[in-house]
């Protein structure tokens, strides 16, 4: 389902090579080459017999992490193993059912496997009058108290998020729960975001979660890895969101099903942690099981003040075998959007300039981090004009909200994001939470309650995703979203940034 | 309070019952074997094919209630099918606004079922999966295309389908988390087809699925289709879900 509008420049920077890898089940054998343009001679990536005399095969990062977590010295894709979980995360939507299942299966008086390895973050349906939603946070609190959960980011005062010292919003990485080499499972498909830290992180359902709560283990099948090598200097009108939209458009929404996505290359190394998180965040939109980026100095710097727990990063072996390798010359990429109604419906932003829009949404774990807001502010600053459509800003976490109100934007003469947003006529930044990314209860701020066209920095644009069944969502980077807000049409940010 | 280690947990915790629906008809053998049934138990087979949608699973499925008696195993599914296309995502299966419903609550479980597939666009699916005020659909078999269940990890998706009365899904391929959730919960039996059955079958066709032969029979068109063997998850499905499987494997006490 890759977009049919692959630009003329795409052929010069895509090349793909298929390494035949033994598949162990029908599920991982789906051919993935159907929509890919191959323009260069295949490169040698299989190890030659002379390069190693050892019996052991090289493993990819994902294979190594799962091997260590399942206490095995060697693993191959396709194997099913019981994996030790380092951190388990849940939230207000899935927490209550997960705990209910845990109690049903392990007993009313059962205790969780480790009260310090569980992170509970109410973040989905928080600022709403919906009684069931509010009740679910109360249920979470009851369980956390019962189980003496160490990391419960509680919220009691729904009217003023700042009145709750513990409440954070979407905050796993920020609170230091992501560490290289670890296994993180969460009841949210975007748990894969944490792969940016060089760990195995993936989403699971409530029943699996109930199992993890009781045992600290889960049966997982080892995925083969797709490798994405990105080189070239990142142009100043591109963001990580454009990179991942490029990839999803290339391999389709099922291109990475049951597979791991490994992102390497000089461009990736140049990305900040937040940008790396954006990249890994949408791995699930390609069907991916998990995404990984090798930990490096950038990672360690980020973690310095956030965690005191020791960690041991793992890296893909030289001789690791990848299912396929894709290479991109990032310097040739242009700003992209994913048109309705699929994240792989890739198109150039400039080719959609006649699409009139009704609103812009900047928020979510994908595009509502501090750097995302700074990026949007840069575009508004460069323009100096006001937005032409309602522009909703929803910081992902409390810290992001505070940054928006306190961090000076480079080149602005000391103005904060919030000041720039106000001058541009955007809505006041809202209470931090997952917000309208997934619609939610009817009174959710910025929920799409009418059939409108929206440019959004979020992660999915399926029918009804942000609320209204006939809504049309264009997924985009914060640069593109801000540019579009200024014109009232889908707009390439180079209109303002160059 | 000291955190219980996994091994000490197994000595301290007692398991009260196994509520997961039991679709097993084989005794557990080994976690790594790809098992297809070598013999089917003596169960009454469906001798007359009736178009009545109420004639369905042989297995009963205890839902949201303790059951000390294991359900009778399933060897076949029979009912009327509802056909959908590719990339049916979880927002279409159960839109986010309904996720405040907690499935472990019997009342809310039932309500969840009433919203199953409500997110399907009307223009593409004028025949709705369920009409207003229904809690159970007349369609008990879902036929889909590629990448069924993509999107969110919400377990509410297979649960809503199961609550609405869907017994089995037959898709060309699945998104990983949805497939996993179907297996772990036992709410719907996830089967893979060899061909694009979403183009071969029409909503309203009467279907029988014979699990032992991996066969789908469309009585309305008179055609038969081979299904793919269930694969690595066979033992988990056969055990009746992740908890039952773990008990059989000795990972958690029975």
Contact: A253, B150; criterion CB under 8 Å: yes
Q: Which helix H or strand E contains B185, and what residues bound it?
A: helix B176-185
Distance, in angstroms, between A108 CA and closest chain B CA? Answer: 9
Which chain A residue lies closest to B2 (C-alpha atoms)? A114
Which two tokens mark A233?
A: 């200097």
Number of helices and strands (H, E) in chain A? Answer: 14, 18
Looking at residue B174, what DSSP letter applies? Answer: B
Residues A355-378, mean pLDDT to the nearest whole number = 98
A216: which chain B residues are within 8 Å (Cβ-Cβ)? 6
Distance, in angstroms, between A232 CA and closest chain B CA? Answer: 31
Distance, in angstroms, between A365 CA and closest chain B CA? Answer: 14
**Distance in angstroms (rounded) separating the CA atoms of residues B70 and B248:** 14
For chains A and B, CB pairs below 8 A equal 190
- So what's the pLDDT on residue A55? 53
What does the mean pLDDT of chain A come to? Answer: 90
User: For tokens 């264009």, what's the residue?
Assistant: A474
Which chain A residue lies closest to B109 (C-alpha atoms)? A97
Option in A132, A221, A467 nearest B232 (CB):
A221
**DSSP-derived pairing of the beta strands A14-18 and A324-329:** antiparallel
Which two tokens mark B134?
A: 């229904």
Distance, in angstroms, between B206 CA and closest chain A CA? Answer: 28
Which two tokens mark A238?
A: 């591109």
- So what's the pLDDT on residue A15? 34
Mutate to test the interface with A, among B4, B18, B161, B176 (most CBs of A within 10 A): B176
Contact: A257, B92; criterion CB under 8 Å: no
For residue range B93-107, list pLDDT tens digits in order. Answer: 999 999 999 998 999
Residues B57-70, mean pLDDT to the nearest whole number = 37
A294 close to A276: Cβ distance less than 8 angstroms: no
Residues A302-322, mean pLDDT to the nearest whole number = 96
> Percent helix, strand, coil in chain A (nearest 5)?
35, 20, 50
Length of chain B in residues, anyone?
254
Option in B14, B153, B232 nearest A25 (CB):
B232
A451 close to A425: Cβ distance less than 8 angstroms: no
The pLDDT confidence band at residue B240, using thresholds 50, 70 and 90, is confident
A96: which chain B residues are within 8 Å (Cβ-Cβ)? 102, 104
Distance, in angstroms, between B13 CA and closest chain A CA? Answer: 6
A291: which strand partners?
A: A261
Q: How far is CA B221 from the centre of its chain?
A: 24
- So what's the pLDDT on residue B73? 58
Residue A243 has pLDDT above 90, yes or no: yes
Q: How far is CA B245 from the centre of its chain?
A: 16
A255 close to A33: Cβ distance less than 8 angstroms: no
Which chain B residue lies closest to A79 (C-alpha atoms)? B32
Residues B25-51, mean pLDDT to the nearest whole number = 30
pTM of the model as a whole? 0.84
Q: Please give the ipTM for the structure prediction.
A: 0.85
A215: which chain B residues are within 8 Å (Cβ-Cβ)? 6, 9, 246, 251-252
Q: How far is CA B223 from the centre of its chain?
A: 23
- So what's the pLDDT on residue A18? 36
Mutate to test the interface with B, among A130, A219, A291 (most CBs of B within 10 A): A219
Cα separation values, A395 from A14, A154, A380, B81, B112, Å: 34, 18, 17, 44, 30
For residue range B217-232, list pLDDT tens digits in order. Answer: 999 999 999 999 887 7
Number of helices and strands (H, E) in chain B? Answer: 8, 7
B198 close to B143: Cβ distance less than 8 angstroms: yes
A217: which chain B residues are within 8 Å (Cβ-Cβ)? 6, 251
- So what's the pLDDT on residue B70? 45
Residues B196-203, mean pLDDT to the nearest whole number = 97
Of A27-31, A145-149, B38-42, B222-226, which range is least confident?
Answer: B38-42
Angle at A279 between CA A45 and CA A88, to 5 degrees: 100
Option in A132, A289, A460 nearest B151 (CB):
A460
- So what's the pLDDT on residue B91? 95
Distance, in angstroms, between B134 CA and closest chain A CA? Answer: 21
A267 close to A234: Cβ distance less than 8 angstroms: yes
B3: which chain A residues are within 8 Å (Cβ-Cβ)? 111-116
Which two tokens mark B193?
A: 């087809």
For residue range B138-178, list pLDDT tens digits in order. Answer: 999 999 999 999 999 999 999 999 999 999 999 999 999 99
Residue A6 has pLDDT above 90, yes or no: no
B106 close to B63: Cβ distance less than 8 angstroms: yes
* Angle formed by the axes of helices A370-383 and A398-406, nearest 10°: 30
For residue range A104-138, list pLDDT tens digits in order. Answer: 999 999 999 999 999 999 999 999 999 999 999 99
Residues A445-468, mean pLDDT to the nearest whole number = 96
Distance, in angstroms, between A229 CA and closest chain B CA? Answer: 24
Contact: A215, B6; criterion CB under 8 Å: yes
Contact: A110, B13; criterion CB under 8 Å: yes
Give chain A's radius of gyration (CA, Å): 22
What does the mean pLDDT of chain B come to? Answer: 76
Option in B86, B95, B231 nearest A464 (CB):
B95
Please give the share of chain A, as a percent, with pLDDT higher than 90.
Answer: 87
Of the two residues B189 and B1, the one the predictor is more confident about is: B189
Contact: B91, A464; criterion CB under 8 Å: yes
Residue A323 has pLDDT above 70, yes or no: yes
Residue A476 has pLDDT above 80, yes or no: yes
H helices of A15-167, where?
Answer: 61-69, 95-106, 131-147
Which chain A residue lies closest to B101 (C-alpha atoms)? A132
Which two tokens mark A454?
A: 């929206």
């Amino acid at each position: 389902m890759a977009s049919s509008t692959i630009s003329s420049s795409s052929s010069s920077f895509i090349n793909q090579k298929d390494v035949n890898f033994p598949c162990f089940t029908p599920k991982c054998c789906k051919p993935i080459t159907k929509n890919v343009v191959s323009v260069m001679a295949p490169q040698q990536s299989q190890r030659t017999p002379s390069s190693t005399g050892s019996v052991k095969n090289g493993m990819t990062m994902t294979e190594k992490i799962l091997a260590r977590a399942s206490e095995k010295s060697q693993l191959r894709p396709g194997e099913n193993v019981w994996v030790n979980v380092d951190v388990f995360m849940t939230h207000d939507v899935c927490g209550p059912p997960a705990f209910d299942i845990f109690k049903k299966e392990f007993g009313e008086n059962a205790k969780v496997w480790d009260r310090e390895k569980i992170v509970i973050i109410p973040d989905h349906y928080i600022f709403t009058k919906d009684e069931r939603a509010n009740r679910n946070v109360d249920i979470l609190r009851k369980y956390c108290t019962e189980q003496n959960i160490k990391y419960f980011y509680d919220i009691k005062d729904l009217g003023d998020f700042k009145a709750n010292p513990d409440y954070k919003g979407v905050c796993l990485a920020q609170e230091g729960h992501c560490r290289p080499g670890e296994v993180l499972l969460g009841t949210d498909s975007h748990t894969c975001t944490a792969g940016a830290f060089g760990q195995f992180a993936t989403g699971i359902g409530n029943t699996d979660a109930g199992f993890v709560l009781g045992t600290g283990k889960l049966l997982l099948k080892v995925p083969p890895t797709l490798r994405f090598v990105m080189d070239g200097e990142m142009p100043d009108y591109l963001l990580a969101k454009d990179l991942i939209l490029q990839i999803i458009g290339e391999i389709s929404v099922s291109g990475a099903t049951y597979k791991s996505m490994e992102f390497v290359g000089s461009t990736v190394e140049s990305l900040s942690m937040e940008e790396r998180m954006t990249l890994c965040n949408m791995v699930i939109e390609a069907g991916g099981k998990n995404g990984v980026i090798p930990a490096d100095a950038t990672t360690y710097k980020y973690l310095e003040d956030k965690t005191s727990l020791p960690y041991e990063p793992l890296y893909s072996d030289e001789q690791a075998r990848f299912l396929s390798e894709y290479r991109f010359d990032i310097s040739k990429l242009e700003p992209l959007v994913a048109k309705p109604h699929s994240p792989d419906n890739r198109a150039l932003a400039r080719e959609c300039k006649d699409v009139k829009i009704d609103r812009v949404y900047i928020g979510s774990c994908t595009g509502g981090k501090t750097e995302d807001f700074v990026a949007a502010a840069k575009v508004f600053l460069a323009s100096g004009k006001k937005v032409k459509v309602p522009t909703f800003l929803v910081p992902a976490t409390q810290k992001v909200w505070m940054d928006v109100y306190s961090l000076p934007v480079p080149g602005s003469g000391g103005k904060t994001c919030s000041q720039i947003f106000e001058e541009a006529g955007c809505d006041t930044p809202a209470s931090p939470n997952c917000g309208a990314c997934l619609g939610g209860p009817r009174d959710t701020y910025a929920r799409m309650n009418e059939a409108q066209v929206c440019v959004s920095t979020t992660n999915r644009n399926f029918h009804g995703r942000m609320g209204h069944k006939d809504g049309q969502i264009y997924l985009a980077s914060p640069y593109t979203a801000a540019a579009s807000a200024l014109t009232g049409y889908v707009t390439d940010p180079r209109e303002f940034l160059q | 309070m000291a955190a219980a280690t996994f091994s000490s947990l197994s000595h301290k915790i007692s398991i009260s019952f196994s509520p997961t629906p039991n679709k097993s008809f084989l005794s557990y053998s080994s976690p790594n074997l790809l098992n297809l049934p070598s013999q089917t138990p003596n169960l009454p087979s469906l001798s007359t094919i009736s178009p009545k949608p109420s004639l369905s699973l042989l297995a009963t499925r205890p839902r949201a209630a303790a059951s000390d008696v294991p359900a009778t195993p399933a060897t076949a599914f029979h009912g009327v099918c509802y056909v959908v296309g590719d990339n049916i995502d979880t927002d279409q299966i159960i839109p986010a606004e309904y996720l405040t419903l907690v499935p472990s609550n019997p009342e809310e479980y039932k309500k969840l079922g009433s919203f199953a597939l409500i997110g399907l666009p009307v223009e593409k699916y004028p025949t709705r999966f369920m009409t207003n005020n229904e809690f159970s659909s007349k369609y008990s078999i879902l036929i889909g295309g590629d990448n069924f269940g993509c999107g969110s990890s919400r377990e509410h998706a297979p649960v809503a389908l199961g609550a609405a009365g869907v017994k089995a899904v037959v898709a060309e391929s699945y998104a990983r988390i949805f497939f996993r959730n179907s297996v772990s919960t036992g709410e719907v039996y996830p089967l893979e087809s060899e061909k694009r059955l979403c183009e071969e079958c029409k909503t309203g066709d009467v279907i029988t699925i014979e699990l032992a032969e991996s066969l789908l029979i469309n009585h309305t068109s008179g055609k038969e289709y081979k299904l793919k063997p269930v694969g690595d998850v066979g033992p988990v499905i056969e055990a009746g879900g992740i908890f039952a499987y773990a008990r059989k494997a000795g990972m958690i006490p029975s």
